[in-house]
Structure 1
Amino acid sequence: MAQNVSRVVLRLSHEPIKVYDWFAFDAEGEQIAHQLTSNQHWPSAAQLDLAIPAQWLTAHRLALPKVNEKQRQQLITQALEDRVLGRLDDYQWQAGPVENGHCTVWLLEISKLAQLKTWANEQGLHFTRWITEFALLGEQNDCMLAASSGLMARLGGECVWLADESELLALRGERVLQALNFNQVVAPSKTAVSFYHGKTPAVSLHMSWQDWRWAVYLLGVCIALVLLSMMLQWRTLAQRESALRQEIRQTFASLYPGMPIVDPMLQWQSLQKKGEVRGGDALDLLYRSAAQMAGDYNAHSISVKNGKVSLIVPAAQGAALLSQLQAQGAQVQSTNLPDGRLNVELQP
């Protein structure tokens, strides 16, 4: 028998928590064996499910419109807050699939879940799922089965737990209920609601790696490309920094020939504080050049290059301009142009 067992479902007595009975099923979901027991004498199987006692569970059948998953969660939460006595935060809920616009939502106290976890750890049991005991009713409607304590029944799609048959008489009305015996129990469906999912078997992990390995490879290639791009960008910036530093040294050397260069930026700041800065940008040079010129000069063109200001003026004004600048001690040079105008180069 053990060779044909694919799944075992344990039912529990809850005061105290212990194994009440177990059902063994083959790969097709057909029942192979059932036995009342309080010891761990059940067949070994690839899948071991725990059936949460029906007495601990509350089922609510809700009408839901067609919405996305996030909206579905919100609607269920709002409906449960209206139905549950006490704080909803004290419960964990799980919703089944929506069928014909209706969904069954199961509630279980969080304290009960903690008890189950403690008991499973103490017993050294590793379950694949924690399903509801009602899952043993299968897909049948208007039926009942002896639970680990009392009765569990499905009436018109509603799942209820009853302490005894006297309560059943008041609920069923004129309905005819089929009383299931243990031999008629079939394996819970793979989509049955579960309050816990155990670790995936190693084979499934291997299959998962096969499915995802190309995505992992692609991610690795993308990371390598990003790192390579960052390294190239860093190298380009380093080269630009080196070229800029060299240009600063050359500019400083051209403005202050003969001055030893240690740190041109610091030396420039020191000279700026002392008021001994030479050169400057084009506007600065023009401003200082204009301060050395008094009078109305008709300059045909003005340009700034290499720290010098060049003016082209008529020859008649050139002599007066040169005399004025030389009288102020300015460094000035002049060149007669072929058209008779004078090119004056001034270094402020």
Structure 2
Amino acid sequence: MTASFALLRVHVPPQGLTDAPLDWLGLNGSGQAQARGTTLLSDLPPSDRLELILPASRVAAHRIELPALTGKHEAALIRQALEDRALGDLAASVIVSGARQDKLMCVWVCERAWLERQLANFASLRQADLLTPEQALLAPGQHAETPSGWIFQRAPGEYGLLPSQDVLLSLCPNSQAIDTLLTAPPINRVNLLVGLPGLRRAQASFSLAQLKPALWLLIAAALIYLLAQTLEWRQLAAREANLRQSIRQNFAAANPGVPIIDPILQWRQSRGQPGQQGGDALDQLARFAALSGLSLKPARIESEEGRLKLTLTTTDANQLKPVLQGKGISFESQTTDKGLEQLIIKIDKGQP
């Protein structure tokens, strides 16, 4: 039983869904029977949709007369008519309107608690899509034997349940018998699930298919946000690069022959503006570069009182070390985590 059907009909016994085997019928997309069997609830074959055929002993069909135009008062008129004929509390019942011919309407009534128990038994396995009474599978002038008894439809919307075939044939002598009720198409289409709107909404609330549009919209919004942030970062980076290049060109034009180490800081110092701590050390480094003829590009410049820390590539550090040693300037060298070399130069105001 690995095949998947378009529709699986399961015949619910009068005692409800228990551990007893259940009769089922698998139909294709055209409504034609493909396979049938009897299995436990947990072993039912897979299907796209599930239809539960409810026993006639649990679902009553009432044929009531209503005014031609009822409008929004139809539900109230139906309840008023049922109070005179239905047993039990109508508030504890599921009431669903069926087919109507002129002023006559077939109304289906089922105990709400019993119906909810059957759906709860199925909930752990799958969700029911259709709840069809046995009587709805009969055409006028037909009858069938079911576990509840003999069901029949004498006239449109006029259903009955009898304990024996003899009594049935005495009332409906021209009635035609149906051998297999599950294979019969639903003549009067009715779905008692519409009488449980709260349960129906709860079953559909966690449908992944309904969440897919929202998920796609969320993903699209996130991508648009990331794209906007990336464009903004690129614009800011381009503006910073252009600004640095402009400052470098202006500083080189205003101070020809002066090595450029940090154009922004040097520009501030040349204009007499307060810069970062270590401006004197930067001037000292510029003099070192001018005397040695080196073009240094420090990755980081730090200064403390009497010390200058330069983070350089290994190539620049190897070029600067002999110059410092030749001028008698003491320094220390250490390697950073990023593989660069840091020179810690002891600065004396008396040094050139």
- TM-score norm. by structure 1 comes to 0.51
Counterpart position of 1:21: 23
State the distance in 2 between where 1:66 and 1:205 align: 42
Task: Give deviations 1:270-294, integer Å, cap 9, x for gaps.
Answer: xxxxxxxxxxxxxxxxxxxxxxxxx
**What's the offset of the Cα at 1:3?**
5.5
Using a 3 Å threshold, how does the CA distance of structure 1 residues 187 and 34 change in structure 2: closer, same or farther?
Answer: farther
Q: Quick check: 2:169–2:175 contact (8 Å CA) kept in 1?
A: no
State the distance in 2 between where 1:97 and 1:207 align: 36
Using a 3 Å threshold, how does the CA distance of structure 1 residues 204 and 192 change in structure 2: closer, same or farther?
Answer: farther
Counterpart position of 1:61: 63
**What's the offset of the Cα at 1:59?**
0.7
Using a 3 Å threshold, how does the CA distance of structure 1 residues 183 and 143 change in structure 2: closer, same or farther?
Answer: closer
Instruction: Show the 5 A alignment for 1:258-337.
Output: none
State the distance in 2 between where 1:183 and 1:57 align: 16
Counterpart position of 1:180: 178
Task: Give deviations 1:197-234, integer Å, cap 9, x for gaps.
Answer: 4538655777999xxx9xxxxxxxxxxxxxxxxxxxxx
Higher mean alpha-carbon deviation, 183-192 vs 199-208, is at: 199-208
**What's the offset of the Cα at 1:52?**
1.6
Counterpart position of 1:115: 117
Number of matched pairs: 206
**What's the offset of the Cα at 1:143?**
0.5
Partner AA of 1:55 in structure 2: S
Q: Quick check: 2:9–2:182 contact (8 Å CA) kept in 1?
A: no
Gaps of 5+ in 2: 218-352
Partner AA of 2:165 in structure 1: E
1:199 aligns with 2:237: no
Counterpart position of 1:44: 46
Instruction: Show the 5 A alignment for 1:49-198.
Output: 49-121=51-123, 124-137=125-138, 140-157=139-156, 158-172=158-172, 175-182=173-180, 185-188=183-186, 191-195=189-193, 196=196, 197=200, 198=203
Aligned CA RMSD, in angstroms, stands at 3.3
State the distance in 1 between where 2:159 and 2:181 align: 21
State the distance in 2 between where 1:148 and 1:109 align: 19
Q: Quick check: 1:31–1:183 contact (8 Å CA) kept in 2?
A: no
**What's the offset of the Cα at 1:104?**
0.7
- TM-score norm. by structure 2 comes to 0.50
The secondary structure found in structure 2 opposite 1:111 is: helix
Using a 3 Å threshold, how does the CA distance of structure 1 residues 194 and 57 change in structure 2: closer, same or farther?
Answer: same
Gaps of 5+ in 1: 214-348
Task: Give deviations 1:4-53, integer Å, cap 9, x for gaps.
Answer: 72101111223363353112111122222222333444431110111221
State the distance in 2 between where 1:183 and 1:204 align: 35
Partner AA of 1:185 in structure 2: T
State the distance in 2 between where 1:186 and 1:86 align: 31
